[in-house]
Amino acid sequence: MEKLSREEAKKRIEWLRKEIWRHNYLYYVLNKPEISDAEYDKLMEELRRLEEMYPEFITPDSPTQRVGAPPAKEFKTVRHVKPMLSLDTAHKEEEVEAFDKRVKRELGVDDVEYVAEPKLDGLSVELVYENGKYVRGSTRGDGINGEDVTENIRTIKAVPLVLRGEELPIPRMLAVRGEVIMHIDDFERLNKELIEKGEEPLANPRNAAAGSLRRLDPRETAQRPLDIFFYEVMLVEGYEIDTQWDALQALKKWGLKVNPHIRKCRDIREAIEYHHEMEKKRENLEYEIDGVVIKVNRFDYQEKLGVKTRSPKWAIAYKFPPRKEETQILDIVVQVGRTGILTPVALLKPVDVKGVTVSRATLHNEDYIKEKDIRIGDWVRVARAGDVIPEVIEVIKERRTGKEKPFKMPSRCPVCRSKVVKEGAYYRCTAGLSCPAQLKRAIAHFASKNAMDIEGLGSQTVDMLVEKGLIKRLSDIYKLKKVDLLRLPRFAEKSAKNLIEAIEKSKERGLARLIYALGIPNVGEHTAKILAEKFRSMDKLMNASMAELLSIKEIGPETAESIINFFKEERNRKEIEELKKLGVKMEYEEEKGKLKGKKFVFTGSLKSMTRGEAKAIVEELGGEVVNTVSKSVDYVVVGENPGSKYEKAKALGLKIINEREFKKLIGMEEEEEKIVPLDKFIGEK
């Protein structure tokens, strides 16, 4: 090694890197290793020694650089290239069949092909590659913004630092979504090590994966046995993909690990059969899955179906039945929710349900208790609904001793002692926001990130402010003074100042978020946006008739009635009037941007900017960038070497513009007197 010239050493380093990348691909993606671990270690050791001798040849994507960053003080926030949506769930075949019927009805077709994939129980992440090199990784976060864990993801050996280009051209930019997981055997070994060290064991593989990835020191993450599967192309530039199945095949060819159990299904029946097969295989897999994900295969169909506020309309998570364990009900207590609904909760003898200690379980309502004949002292089977929320599934009646006690819903609110009334299947405290329990939950919702987003007004602070009498109704939030906060524990000059500023800033959040923040039953974020756009002011919404509400496509009778009843309440109207006096904005403001409502498709390379930069500009100006050419598209922007989208756009007679015209449209460049003809600009194609 010492006899190598500088140029020879450089070539040897490049060869070693390519060879190690190839063996990583064979081992982690194809599961077909060609060499032993000892031989692989020799290659790594030789590369490491050469890089020590010639440090000028070290690059960030070298296999030796998986752990090279210093510990972070905290994770930065990064914006995803595209929202990382959650999924609607189904637990029964009928729900999946209803999903299929809706998809066909909205598409106006008789047949739809699906892709079915295991629903992994891990931590969702976004990875970004530029010109084939890994540049950024982030957690899902709130779906729009996530934590920058670039260096931690770099330590996962199944993550390629450089994409393969042997079978497909490497895209200029690729943003891909994956799931970081920990295998069950690795999780059990890790817990054994932690116990031997006298440390607290981890609850389950998912928590272990999430906690390991979010270590501030990447060297600690590198010590944890993490794996990853990729399943969604979020953005690709320089290569065109038309279906989910083709996307998964492309990911594999670029060296990104895709789950081996994926399947293309001709119809929903095949997808349901796949679910049953995976349920049987579930216990023999090396990692946790809690269901399967069913996606419409064609991207143009996905585009047409669109998305709701937080989930796509072209995919559904078909969950497995929850796992069950036996335990005893020690007592039944009642919780009071934000809208005054009383929910009975079983206090359980703690029991482990697949790695999670469960000591409380929801009993939903009185009808649920009567139907299952649940009593205090009963032995019951408990499951995590969707493997998340614990609930009592059934009573083991053969274990009854006669000492069990029936449960009865209270006639008075357990928190404020106000009268309780029965409404359908539910009981409700009549005190409204004068009930401390309802007030606390209403304020926490009002201040939450997707509502008025008052940073610093979390549940503990809310509890304290209500208990100290500083907040007795929603509008009191805007009457808080810094001097009030400084009298409270945990508040210093800076934290008090920050909260007052956050409260003041929240007055500008806009009508849609205010409507959602008010907590009107059955009105979520999406419905709140629709109401804001339709009525334009809080006054008009408060006085809307049932007929006006029902004329809105997305609003049904139940939601309309909830809105009418909410604004009938005199105290609600007074509270809204008080918020208005305190400066909370109640008018709808048009989104700024001259491209509002315009849809763009990009095809081919742009010289002056990346596709991602162009997309960001369009969105900032109020427009939307879509991936599929259809009649609803307003502009098709054509760069050099365009793909099939250009031909489709010509066939549909869409407005086609070149890069210079696009820059003129967005105000970046004055159009010259003579514009190069489009056919010359794109060549013979």
Instruction: Give the catalytic positions in this structure.
Output: 119
Cα separations in angstroms, 417 against 27, 347, 464, 514 = 65, 22, 21, 30
Q: In angstroms, rounded to a whole number, what is the distance separating the alpha carbons of residues 326 and 20?
A: 50
Structure tokens at 683: 């060549």
Q: In angstroms, rounded to a whole number, what is the distance separating the alpha carbons of residues 309 and 299?
A: 19
Q: Are 293 and 116 in contact (CB under 8 A)?
A: yes
Pairing state between β 656-658 and 635-638: parallel
Q: In angstroms, rounded to a whole number, what is the distance separating the alpha carbons of residues 612 and 605?
A: 11
Q: In angstroms, how far is CA 205 from the centroid of its own chain?
A: 19
Q: Are 439 and 473 in contact (CB under 8 A)?
A: yes
Q: In angstroms, rounded to a whole number, what is the distance separating the alpha carbons of residues 223 and 389?
A: 31
Structure tokens at 243: 């279906």
Please, what's the b/e burial string for 506-535 (b: 16 or more CB within 10 A of its CB; e: otherwise)? Answer: beebbbbbbbbbbbbeebebbbbbbbbebb
Pairing state between β 375-376 and 379-385: unpaired
The CA angle 120-122-127, to the nearest 5 degrees, is: 100
Q: Is 335 exposed, middle or buried (0-12, 13-18, 19+ CB in 10 A)?
A: middle
Structure tokens at 416: 């404020």
List the one residue out of 490, 393, 509, 398 whose CA is nearest residue 450.
509
List the one residue out of 96, 226, 203, 223 whose CA is nearest residue 153.
226
Helix (H/G/I), strand (E/B), else coil: 589: coil
Pairing state between β 624-625 and 599-603: parallel
Q: Are 340 and 116 in contact (CB under 8 A)?
A: no
Phi, psi of 332 (to 5 degrees): -125, 125
Q: Are 66 and 222 in contact (CB under 8 A)?
A: yes
Pairing state between β 133-139 and 123-130: antiparallel
Q: Are 604 and 639 in contact (CB under 8 A)?
A: yes
List the one residue out of 416, 420, 415, 368 whose CA is nearest residue 392.
368
Helix (H/G/I), strand (E/B), else coil: 49: helix
Q: In angstroms, rounded to a whole number, what is the distance separating the alpha carbons of residues 436 and 441?
A: 9
Helix (H/G/I), strand (E/B), else coil: 479: helix
Q: In angstroms, how far is CA 457 from the centroid of its own chain?
A: 23
| H or E element in which residue 659 lies | helix 659-665
Cα separations in angstroms, 81 against 129, 140, 632 = 12, 11, 23
Cα separations in angstroms, 411 against 346, 362, 637 = 19, 20, 66
Task: Name 450's Cβ contacts closer than 8 Å, sequence gap at least 6.
Answer: 513, 516, 525
List the one residue out of 483, 328, 346 whose CA is nearest residue 407.
346
Evaluated on CA atoms 158, 159, 165, 169, the torsion sign reads: positive
